Amino acid sequence: MCLRVWICAFALAVPGLLAQERLTLADAVSQGLAGNPQLSAAAARVSVAEALRTQAGLGPNPRLILQSENVRVNVSPPFSYGTDADSYAILAQAIEMGHKRQRRVDLATESVGRGELEQQLQRQQIAIRVTAAYWTAAGAARNRDLLHQEVASFENVVQFHRNRVNEGAAPEVDLLRVQVEYDRLAASARAAAQDAERARIALFREMGKMQFPPVEFADPLEQVQSVPPLTIEQVLERRLEMRISRVAIGQARANLRLQQANAKTDPDVQLGYKRTAGFNTLFTAVQIPLPVRNRNQGQIEAAIAEIRVAESTLAATAALLRSELESAMKDYEFRQALLKETLQPMRDRADEVYRIAGAAYREGGSDILRLLDAERTRIDAHVAYTRSLIELQQSAAAVAAAQGNLP
């Protein structure tokens, strides 16, 4: 039959069955973090912050002022530049008051620290996405293999009924029913293969790869990582989001100190040489801006408001992380109980029902519809069990992320 030929060809065409590389979750995460463009961008932002910190520590440059006065032309008696002109050479230097330079460095240092924490958070987010994609792809591959095995096994059922029809021991309608079920199963196998391909490509996309080779998923779905018991205080101490929020408060306070320092005026000291009427003299001066209108009060008020924003953000982040941890733990416990108490026994019972229905049908004690129904129930139970394993693995990863345990 053409469909049988197609199934055999499709099974042989499943990518790389004979030459697949084994991929563990640890390898997938490691490859996802190595050379990831997003992490490269985050590292570049840290380099920008470090360069700005270097710039913040530089003091103002001195200024050289060359000036000439009382130069006249076409006058009588004739003008002599050396004796009649007033010439100046002045060296001026602004003196920063209020420790402005140190305040700039402090603010820039806070920015560097925040950038480094955000880079670490980016790593965690990539690890979370790769982990979820890995278990989705591993589960899809298992469902694909399960359905392909069922197709290959069901060919024997089809051949058995064909032989019985040819011998006149069974009506042809039974063979038609079996062939319809075979076609349905073959279509499900094709869909499962396509789902597995999409899941594998999605995994490599999350890993930042541009090639999508066939792989064998080495970590078993049944091996669920343990969830360590941590208090909410321990979790809040570990979570990078909390550390970033605390650094944001420090950054806002450093900005307030800088703006308060900027409110202090910087005198400009000048020391120079003056030649007038042929005499060489020294020149000194001090220029002091008068803070009559602008005392940087707007920037100071804005910096105070930014502190309030950062403190409110910290409180909101703590509340969000508390709810995230609670939700992740409840979901993990639910899925663990669902798998152990419901889906695993259901799968085992479905296998037993199919075995009994098959034996009864071969002995003539049951009709074909009962056998097909038992076969369909068994496949659905196995698919549901695999899907539950995927969700449990992803739930365990979500708990690890909520506890701040991922790299």
The model's pTM is 0.79
Compute the 3-state secondary structure of the chain and give helix, strand, coil in percent, each to the nearest 5: 70, 10, 20
- Would you state the pLDDT for residue 211? 87
Distance separating alpha carbons of residues 208 and 130, to the nearest angstrom? 10
* Run of H or E including 372: helix 368-403
Name residue, tokens 């989001």: 241
- Distance (Å, whole) CA 372 – CA 161: 13
Place of tokens 């570990």: 238
Burial code of 196-205, b = ≥16 C-beta within 10 A, e = fewer? bbebbebbbe
- The one-digit pLDDT tens for each residue of the chain (407 residues) are 444 444 444 444 444 444 578 999 999 999 999 878 888 899 999 999 999 999 999 999 999 999 988 887 776 777 777 777 888 999 999 999 999 999 999 999 999 999 999 999 999 999 999 999 999 999 999 999 988 988 888 888 788 778 877 877 777 887 888 888 889 889 989 999 999 999 999 999 998 888 899 999 999 988 887 888 888 999 999 899 999 999 999 999 999 999 999 999 999 999 999 888 778 899 899 999 998 889 999 999 999 999 999 999 999 999 999 999 999 999 999 999 999 999 999 999 999 998 888 888 777 656 777 878 888 888 889 889 998 999 999 899 899 889 988 66
Q: Which domains does the chain have, with CATH numbers?
A: 20-403 (1.20.1600.10)
pLDDT at 204: 93
Q: Can you tell me the distance from the alpha carbon of 272 to that of 131, in angstroms, rounded to the nearest whole number?
A: 69
**23: enclosing H helix or E strand:** strand 21-23
What span, in angstroms and rounded, lies between the C-alpha atoms of 395 and 407? 17
Which stretches does DSSP call E strand in 238-314? Answer: 268-276, 279-287
